[in-house]
Amino acid sequence: MLFLWLYMFYSCAGSCAGLTTRGSPAPPRAAPPLPPLLPGEPGEESSLEEQRAAPDAGSPISSFFNGSGTKRLPQAIIIGVKKGGTRALLEFLRVHPDVRAVGAEPHFFDRNYERGLAWYRDLMPRTLEGQITMEKTPSYFVTKEAPARISSMSKGTKLIVVVRDPVTRAISDYTQTLSKKPDIPTFESLTFKNRTTGLIDTSWSAIQIGIYAKHLENWLLYFPIGQILFVSGERMISDPAGELGRVQDFLGLKRIITDKHFYFNKTKGFPCLKKAEGSSKPHCLGKTKGRTHPDIDQEVVQRLRDFYRPFNMKFYQMTGQDFGWD
């Protein structure tokens, strides 16, 4: 009798699986959830849409790649600045086992705020208890609405700003634009409203971003200075382990990222990782990083240094740090 019951059970297992109660139509299958984001490749900003190519969130394959955990709103955000070294900092931090970060720049607090916090949270990687969720979007630092919006999400959000000599930063910004639009005017012509009078054109974003003190005033309306860490883009090159040590302390992480993780790439002119996240191979940032800057008229460079000096001095006072740009 037992053998007969087993035979009927296995015979029906395949054919009966799709049957429902007599007279009741089979319920429609629910649409699969949107797949989670994969970490972006280093280099230029990658689009969020391009990264929705991972397995479904509930599948065993997804569990293998993402592990267990929960999608949380970020507890720390790299908010700036463009061409300061934010991509390098994020890639270095992702070596830490307790840091999970979005690869692409979400641009939530400047371009996508109307999509809502649920949309923003869905972009985040899954984290375990004790891990930190992070993202980086350098344009937040110069976006007037961003401080209030981030404060509204969480007043306790830790903020990181990577700053760099504003003159060098402006030239780097111009170099990036030049690589995409070779027919743009010269750096010298864009710098001045009137070169004869020497009046600097502060409406040009490459110049305007570097007035750090002005932008910081807006953030201090919503966040105390102790909740913002200022990372030196220059020291990220000369002493990456030292700067990463400060960042790990600020985030409340154990100092796992040390000198042993870096080597200096003479061709690119900046540090690279001996082993990237999830890899056993050395890793440098993409070819879009470390571009050769065009030769700029030294008189123009000096005028820019004179222009930025008072703003730099104020920024040093506000942050309690001398970045040595003069």
User: pLDDT digit string (tens) for 30-45?
Assistant: 333 333 333 333 333 4
| pLDDT band at 242; cut points 50, 70, 90 | very high
Checking if the pLDDT of 57 tops 70, the result is no
Q: How far apart are CA 308 and CA 314, in angstroms?
A: 10
> Checking phi first, is residue 189 left (phi over 0); if not, alpha (psi -120 to 50) or beta?
alpha
| pLDDT band at 46; cut points 50, 70, 90 | very low
What number is the average pLDDT over the span 59-76?
A: 69
Q: Among 57-61, 141-145, 191-195, 287-291, where is mean pLDDT lowest?
A: 57-61
Confirm or deny that 84 is annotated as ligand binding.
yes
Residue 86 included in any domain: yes
CATH classification at residue 262: 3.40.50.300
To the nearest whole percent, how much of the chain has pLDDT over 90?
68
Confirm or deny that 83 is annotated as ligand binding.
yes
Residue 142 included in any domain: yes
Q: Is 83 a known active-site residue?
A: yes
Residue 244 included in any domain: yes
pLDDT of residue 288: 54
Confirm or deny that 85 is annotated as ligand binding.
yes
* Total number of domains constituting the chain: 1
Q: For residue 192, which phi and psi values (nearest 5 degrees)? A: -110, 140
What number is the average pLDDT over the span 166-176?
A: 97
Q: How far apart are CA 262 and CA 91, in angstroms?
A: 12
To the nearest whole percent, how much of the chain has pLDDT over 70?
76
Residue numbers of the domain that contains 178: 70-319
Residue 43 included in any domain: no
Highest mean pLDDT of the ranges 38-42, 44-48, 91-95 = 91-95
What number is the average pLDDT over the span 50-61?
A: 34
The active-site residue, picked from 83, 180, 193, 254, is 83
Residue 212 included in any domain: yes
pTM: 0.78
* Terminal Cα-to-Cα distance of the chain (whole angstroms): 93
Residue 242 included in any domain: yes
Q: For residue 2, which phi and psi values (nearest 5 degrees)? A: -60, -45
Residue 46 included in any domain: no
Q: Enumerate the β-bridge partners of residue 101.
A: 134
Residue 164 included in any domain: yes
